[in-house]
């Protein structure tokens, strides 16, 4: 499994766009990049997943450069309720197909201030 | 999205007793479920992989006799913390994957275990 590196913490203000970058230098050809959000005392919640270029859903955008050695989760116009820990995971599609395990890194604690 | 439900959400038990935590996939079948433990201000640590109809696979350092896992059906896995001690107090989270989904894992809401 490719190891990921994220900033430990980030601060932002309401209404700002927040970009969290994750490094995964050893990403393999079959690996997907997935981001999860976790609030205190809750299980992680799926945010977005991508393989290359850009992916956008109703919650966030995910930017992946051509070399795929990093990815950036973009949260538009954050609110106080976006205060949470964000995890970047890299795992092979084979892991998903075969029920393989997901290993979490340390995550980024995002604090949104009024 | 799919729903994974854990029960109970929180439990307090006396040292030396055993506690069972249930993890259910409510609207999909999960051949594989995962159990994680999370201490305050730390990331999720994978404890074991629970496979329906077979023995669980434990991560290195996790005592299989202490953390008993049973995955009797495609929608239910249980984790029993045997002879619990205060150091077992933690947040336990299960995860399940839909056999029909290639890309997404779903997580339960977690169980807060406090051993007194």
**B44 to chain A nearest CA, in Å?**
6
Strand residue runs (E) in chain B: 4-7, 10-13, 19-25, 32-38, 45-51, 57-58, 67-73, 76-81, 90-97, 105-107, 111-115
* End-to-end Cα, chain A, rounded Å: 38
| Cross-chain Cβ contact A41/B36 below 8 Å | no
Q: How confident is the model at residue A96 (pLDDT cuts 50, 70, 90)?
A: low
Interface of B with A in 25-54 (CB under 8 A): 31-32, 34, 36, 43-46, 49, 51
Chain B: residue whose CA lies nearest to A97:
B102
* Residues in chain A closer than 8 A to B111 (CB atoms): none
Query: Of A97, A101, A107, which has the smallest distance from its Cβ to B34's Cβ?
Result: A101
Q: What is the pLDDT of residues A4-63, one digit of tens each?
A: 999 999 999 999 999 999 999 999 888 889 999 999 999 999 999 999 999 999 999 999
Specify the pairing of strand B105-107 against strand B111-115: unpaired
Residue from the list B4, B44, B102 with its beta carbon closest to the beta carbon of A96: B102
| Interatomic CA distance for residues A32 and A83, integer angstroms | 25
State pLDDT tens for residues B42-57. Answer: 999 999 988 888 889 9
């Amino acid at each position: 499994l490719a190891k990921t590196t994220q900033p430990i913490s980030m601060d932002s203000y309401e209404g700002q766009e927040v970009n969290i970058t994750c490094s995964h230098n050893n990403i393999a050809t079959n690996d997907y990049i997935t981001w999860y959000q976790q609030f205190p005392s809750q299980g992680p919640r799926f945010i977005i997943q991508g393989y290359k270029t850009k992916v956008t859903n109703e919650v966030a955008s995910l930017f992946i450069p051509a070399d795929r050695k990093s990815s950036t989760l973009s949260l538009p116009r954050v609110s106080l309720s976006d205060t949470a820990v964000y995890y970047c995971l890299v795992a092979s599609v084979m892991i998903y197909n075969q029920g393989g395990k997901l290993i979490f890194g340390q995550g980024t604690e995002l604090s949104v201030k009024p | 999205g799919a729903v994974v439900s854990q029960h109970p959400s929180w439990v307090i038990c006396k040292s030396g007793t055993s506690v069972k935590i249930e993890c259910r996939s409510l609207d999909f079948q999960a051949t594989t479920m995962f159990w994680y433990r999370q201490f305050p201000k730390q990331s999720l640590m994978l404890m074991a992989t629970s496979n329906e109809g077979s023995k669980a696979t434990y991560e290195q350092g996790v005592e299989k006799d202490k953390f008993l896992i049973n995955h009797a059906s495609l929608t239910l896995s249980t984790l029993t913390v045997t002879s619990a001690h205060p150091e077992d107090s933690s947040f336990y989270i299960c995860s399940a994957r839909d056999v029909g989904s290639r890309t997404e894992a779903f997580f339960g809401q977690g169980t807060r275990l406090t051993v007194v």
